[in-house]
Structure 1
Amino acid sequence: MSGGAIRGSRVGSGPMGEAERGDAAPRRAISYFCSHAHTTVLSFAIEADVPESWDCPRCGLPASQDHENPPTAPKIEPYKTHLAYVKERRSDDEAEQILTEALETLRARRARGDVIY
């Protein structure tokens, strides 16, 4: 082994302190509250713009800085089927009329001898 080798060290290793890293930026602690009574405390730089809301890391609901009135959970719309969307656009009378026209067309094609798959 050579006498000049330093074992167990790497570039940048050594005592880390304020002298090497520099002074930390001045910060302020901001608390956010969600509707499940979770409190999240985040540190922001003094000159940074603080967001009005933050997602709670515990439950995922939106949180705000107002402890008395936390934001409510967003309403989640249930999954809609294709039929549900069609029923929103068409009334029962319109659907009956479209079905009747389609059946007449199908019966006319069968009467002509067309192959229908």
Structure 2
Amino acid sequence: MGSGPMGEKDHGVRAERIAISYWDALGNETIRYFAADVAEEEIPEQIDSPHTGLPAGRNQASPPELAKNEPYKTHLAYVKERRTPEEAEELLEAALQKLRERRGQAPANA
């Protein structure tokens, strides 16, 4: 690690590399370089475009679609998607029963 005069050619051997182009939905091209000996399956099919933040793919004719932004959902909203109101009542009643038993306040014939 040192510096030498500008234009010095003996700075080591540059590894061979390949250029892979990626395009986003707006038509922007991004080029990423990979070592020439990297296996094809290790090169990502999709990246995030540094210019737009959109997903960019290797197929110029068919770039990845714009991601649909879903509104933020609370934990309760996700639970309501998975459970019917009847299931929710049963789960709530079971949890309350366990709590009452722990506190010694459970009804005698429950």
| Residues 81 and 54 of structure 1: CA distance in aligned 2, closer, same or farther (over 3 Å) | closer
| Residues 90 and 42 of structure 1: CA distance in aligned 2, closer, same or farther (over 3 Å) | same
Q: Report the TM-score, using the length of structure 1 for normalisation.
A: 0.57
Larger radius of gyration: 1
How far apart, in 2, do the equivalents of 1:79 and 1:86 lie? 14
- From 79, 84, 87, the counterpart of 1:90: 84
Q: In the comparison of the two structures, how many residue pairs are matched?
A: 85
Matches of residues 69-108 of structure 1 in structure 2 within 5 Å?
69-81=62-74, 84-85=77-78, 87-88=80-81, 89-91=83-85, 94=86
Q: Report the TM-score, using the length of structure 2 for normalisation.
A: 0.60
Aligned to 1:61: 54
Aligned to 2:96: none
Aligned to 1:18: 9
AA aligned to 1:36 is L
AA aligned to 2:20 is I
AA aligned to 2:9 is E
Q: Secondary structure at the match of 1:36?
A: coil
Q: Which 4+ residue blocks in structure 1 deviate beyond 6 angstroms?
A: none
| Residues 25 and 80 of structure 1: CA distance in aligned 2, closer, same or farther (over 3 Å) | same
How far apart, in 1, do the equivalents of 2:65 and 2:57 lie? 10
Q: Secondary structure at the match of 1:84?
A: helix
Percent identity between the aligned chains? Answer: 48
- From 25, 47, 53, the counterpart of 1:35: 25
| Higher RCO (C-alpha under 8 Å, 6+ residues apart) | 2
Aligned to 1:7: none
How far apart, in 2, do the equivalents of 1:43 and 1:78 lie? 36
Deviation at 1:85, TM superposition (A): 4.0
Deviation at 1:68, TM superposition (A): 0.3
Q: Please, which runs of 5 or more residues in structure 1 have no aligned partner?
A: 1-10, 102-117
